[in-house]
Structure 1
Amino acid sequence: MVETSEKKWYVLHTYSGYEEKVKKDLLSRAQSMGMQNYIFRVIVPEEQKTETVRGKKQEVDEKVFPGYVLVEMVMTDESWYVVRNTPNVTGFVGSHGGGSKPSPLYDDEIERILASQGQPAKEPKADYEVGETVTIIDGAFSGMSGKITEINPEKDKLYVSIDMFGRETNAELDYNQVKEFDQ
């Protein structure tokens, strides 16, 4: 078996309609079996559609890939076993049977899928420190700079103090909404 210590994205085939249950069960199994360092994110890609029901328009979430779930994991014998034996998982896409390990998604494929879901391709890292000056690159304060007053790694948030019109304004931002300050 080809074991790797690198996180990669794989596609699971599930029974149609059980995608959310597989997601919940897989995350629960990873937690209870101590596999949090091997199984990271599980995603069921959805998009909003407008449907007309009895003459009224309604927004509904529709699965982009019915019967499939995406999982970010490190492929080892143990993690492979946990995922494969999760209820309602019928197998990995890209596995050719006979106990062979699946092929991961290409980086450009998963980046497109995650971008459509509003998620970062890589888990954000807090390479910032309290007191550091950053430039805001996204959101209402885009183009402004401020000092980091607090970092909350559990929520993946930064709290930045911005000087606006001579007054300090605090903003809660995601890691990917700021970059290092360019002087």
Structure 2
Amino acid sequence: MSEAAKWYVVHTYSGYENKVAQNIEKVVENRGLHDLIHEVKIPTETVVELKDNKSREVERKIFPGYVLVKMVLTDDSWYVVRNTRGCTGFVGPGSKPVPLTEAEVEALGVEVKQVEVTYSVGDSVKIIEGPLEGFVGIVEALDRDAGSVRVTVSMFGRETPVELALGQVELVD
């Protein structure tokens, strides 16, 4: 029964997110359940707060009262998470946890997918996704950190620079 690990949402008492995450990680460590429970995350964002005319960056929970757990759902993994202090249960109908879809995981930014770049500046690439799908252009600039590529495409007899995500283009053989 080797199914892939999926992301599940766990409901916690408000303010107990960090404690629940730590407790789950501790149980995984103590019982050697790394093969069942892979990762525990609390989605946060950095926001700038103005207080007493001073601005400071604060990390704020995006979903207070929730913790995300990447795990293979078995009776053991379900039991461990469900019986963690501060945890009130999984999000889903009844007692059956529902995993997040790929689109939801991507939208939440929980997992950062690494895009392998097989092209470099000056190469001919084909746009494989988006409104310009099928167009071929030349790579003008590459920003791996920002995950973007600037491609010059010939449209209506003019050279037009286009900003795209790294995964939206592929090398033309």
Structure 2 length as normaliser, TM-score? 0.65
Residue 43 of structure 2: aligned partner: 45
Structure 1 length as normaliser, TM-score? 0.62
Residue 58 of structure 1: aligned partner: 56
Number of matched pairs: 134
Residue 18 of structure 2: aligned partner: 20
Whole-angstrom CA distance in 2 between matches of 1:112 and 1:79: 25
Secondary structure class of the residue paired with 1:24: helix
Q: Tell whether 2:31 aligns with 1:33.
A: yes
Q: CA deviation at 1:43?
A: 0.8
| Bigger radius of gyration | 2
Whole-angstrom CA distance in 2 between matches of 1:31 and 1:139: 33
Q: Tell whether 2:98 aligns with 1:103.
A: yes
Whole-angstrom CA distance in 1 between matches of 2:23 and 2:85: 8
Whole-angstrom CA distance in 2 between matches of 1:85 and 1:112: 29
Q: Tell whether 2:119 aligns with 1:113.
A: no
Counterpart AA for 2:50 = T
Deviation string for 1:53-88 (max 9, x for gaps)?
A: 111011111110000000110000000001111111
Q: CA deviation at 1:4?
A: 6.7
Q: CA deviation at 1:139?
A: 3.0
Whole-angstrom CA distance in 2 between matches of 1:63 and 1:42: 14
Residue in structure 2 matching 1:139, options 133, 139, 145 = 145
Whole-angstrom CA distance in 1 between matches of 2:172 and 2:85: 50
Q: Tell whether 2:72 aligns with 1:80.
A: no
Identity %: 44
Q: CA deviation at 1:41?
A: 1.0
Secondary structure class of the residue paired with 2:99: coil
Secondary structure class of the residue paired with 1:35: coil
Residue in structure 1 matching 2:87, options 84, 89, 93 = 89
Whole-angstrom CA distance in 1 between matches of 2:21 and 2:46: 19
Counterpart AA for 1:60 = V
Gaps of 5+ in 1: 144-175
Counterpart AA for 1:108 = A
Residue in structure 2 matching 1:70, options 68, 75, 78 = 68
Deviation string for 1:7-53 (max 9, x for gaps)?
A: 11110000111111111111111111121001011110011111111
Gaps of 5+ in 2: 121-141, 150-165
Secondary structure class of the residue paired with 2:88: strand
Q: CA deviation at 1:95?
A: 3.8
